[in-house]
């Protein structure tokens, strides 16, 4: 029994590390000067030009800074701690999921608790999210 729980913890930690690397890589690809977040204001169309990606915004109607996230390995997905990336505590106000698989936002920082699924949809507004599971 313990071996299974250790394996589950290992896989969860590996997914978090994978998500962190993916987030850093996605940010670097999105903006070569990765220090500054994308602050382009626009309507829902065209504000998330990446495929199979969840783009989160810190203003309603897809304005303000943008945080892009997707799993490095989409066959297993990844839990991303939004708090560690400065996007927890209610910062996420709107977003766009360009992945045909649903992403799920969670109130806790470890993808636990009752999730809020975000289907392939050009637009949504959310509750206070502290983590997200993406594919």
CATH number at residue 102: 2.60.20.10
Which residues form the domain of 104?
2-134
Q: Which residues of 98-122 are buried (b: 16+ CB within 10 A; e: fewer)?
A: bbeebbbbbeebebeeebbebeeee
Q: What's the token pair of residue 127?
A: 């509750």
Q: What is the pLDDT, as a whole number, of residue 124? A: 65
Residue-level pLDDT at 80: 98
Per-residue confidence in pLDDT tens, the chain, 135 aa: 434 333 444 344 444 444 443 444 444 343 332 223 334 444 444 489 999 999 999 998 888 999 999 999 999 999 999 999 999 999 998 889 999 999 999 999 999 999 988 887 656 666 789 999 999
Number of domains in the chain: 1
């Amino acid at each position: 029994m313990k071996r299974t729980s250790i394996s589950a913890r290992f896989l969860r930690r590996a997914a978090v590390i994978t998500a962190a690397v993916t987030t850093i890589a996605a940010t670097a690809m999105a903006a070569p000067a990765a220090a500054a977040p994308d602050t382009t204001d626009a309507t829902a169309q065209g504000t998330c030009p990446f495929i199979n990606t969840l783009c989160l915004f810190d203003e309603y109607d897809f304005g303000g800074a943008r945080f892009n996230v997707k799993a490095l390995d989409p066959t297993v997905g990844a839990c991303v701690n939004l708090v560690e990336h400065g996007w927890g505590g209610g910062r996420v106000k709107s977003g766009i999921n360009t992945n045909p698989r649903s992403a799920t936002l969670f109130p806790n920082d470890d993808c636990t608790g009752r999730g809020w699924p975000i289907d392939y949809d050009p637009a949504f507004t959310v509750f206070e999210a502290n983590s997200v599971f993406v594919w």
